[in-house]
Amino acid sequence: MAYSLGMTLTEERAIIGALSPSRAGDFMTCPLLYRFRVIDQLPEKPSAAAVRGTLVHAVLERLYDLPADGRTVVAAQELLEPQWRRLLAEEPDYGALFVDDGERDDWLEQARAMLGRYFTLEDPRRLEPAERELYVEAVLDSGLMLRGYIDRLDVAPTGEVRVVDYKTGSAPGPDFEAKALFQMKFYALVLWRQQGSVPRMLQLMYLGNGEVLRYLPDEADLRATERKVQALWEAIDRSLRTREWRARRSRLCDWCDHQALCPEFGGTPPPVPDREPRPSRRLPRRAATDEL
């Protein structure tokens, strides 16, 4: 039986705004990046690494459609090319990521290696996830909507919940571990606000280097996360009112598509459009840039 999320989420409460873990992370990384993505809605080119993340996620989601005894390394790797063809049919521009067939084949081989690494971390034949690629949302007392997609939700016979997220990069060092866990605590907060119980475990699976990060949250953790998220939204709201979006330089700038418009790199942002982020009733399916 599927895990019931009891979607009595928004009721009649007025929604003041919406945040996902990815967009919250954007603002924490660089307020100007948040503006470019959410307010200006500037186009971005997905990287080969991000699209590979989408592909590996798609394979792992569909792996659990197979009978338990059929969830093998070979079966997962056989799903890879059909899923790549599906993604390419949906997004033909993905074909332009590679200069030639050899580069594409090397990229697919890296994805194949990540799938093989997954099987060194757990045995999918022994698991029956309650949910996969699960959309969740909850509204805080302030009216702020939190929402996002959870890769996998496992529910034990005793009712304990494990939130699982696949990452196709490598595990972060100690300085970045808290940032990685923020996303998971965000999901745990949403589930807690929906169901009234704290998930037992948060599990990040890094398929880039085969490491697993596990964390056992408690109510104090999630209350602190809620305060952080609320403060973050208040900072976003200030930027919306003042129309000031500060650029924050970091190592992540090397992967940003918007350097030509960024003051940190000698650029000039366009005028702020007269557009505010208005929460829709449903978060669009996450982009390739959210999959790493």
CA distance 237 to 216: 32
- The predicted-structure confidence for 223-237, as pLDDT tens digits, reads as follows 999 999 999 999 999
User: 216 — alpha (psi -120 to 50), left (phi > 0) or beta?
Assistant: beta
Q: 3-class secondary structure for 133-178?
A: EEEEEEECCCCEEEEEEEEEEEECCCCCEEEEEEECCCCCCHHHHH
Q: Model pTM?
A: 0.90
Which regions in the chain score pLDDT beneath 70?
A: 1-12, 175, 277-292
- Report which of 258, 265, 246 is spatially closest to residue 40, judged by C-alpha positions: 258
Quote the tokens at residue 187. 């999901």
- The predicted-structure confidence for 224-283, as pLDDT tens digits, reads as follows 999 999 999 999 999 999 999 999 999 999 999 999 999 999 999 999 988 776 665 555
CATH 3.10.310 maps onto the chain at 17-32+128-233
Sign of the dihedral defined by the CA atoms of residues 119, 120, 126, 127, in that order: negative
Tell me if residue 214 falls in helix, strand or coil: strand
pLDDT on residue 14: 85
Cα-based distances in Å from 57 to 24, 49, 77, 107, 271: 22, 12, 12, 15, 37
Quote the tokens at residue 144. 């702020």
pLDDT on residue 176: 74
pLDDT on residue 179: 83
CA distance 204 to 172: 11
Contact in structure between 152 and 164 (CB atoms under 8 Å): yes
Contact in structure between 125 and 119 (CB atoms under 8 Å): no
* Radius of gyration (C-alpha) of the chain in whole angstroms: 20
Contact in structure between 192 and 198 (CB atoms under 8 Å): yes
Fold of 17-32+128-233: Diaminopimelate Epimerase; Chain A, domain 1 (3.10.310)
User: 6 — alpha (psi -120 to 50), left (phi > 0) or beta?
Assistant: left
Q: Which residues contact 91 (CB under 8 A, 6 or more apart)?
A: none
pLDDT on residue 177: 80
Residue type, 3: Y
The angle formed by the CA atoms of residues 282, 161 and 136, to the nearest 5 degrees, is: 5
Sign of the dihedral defined by the CA atoms of residues 61, 21, 214, 54, in that order: positive
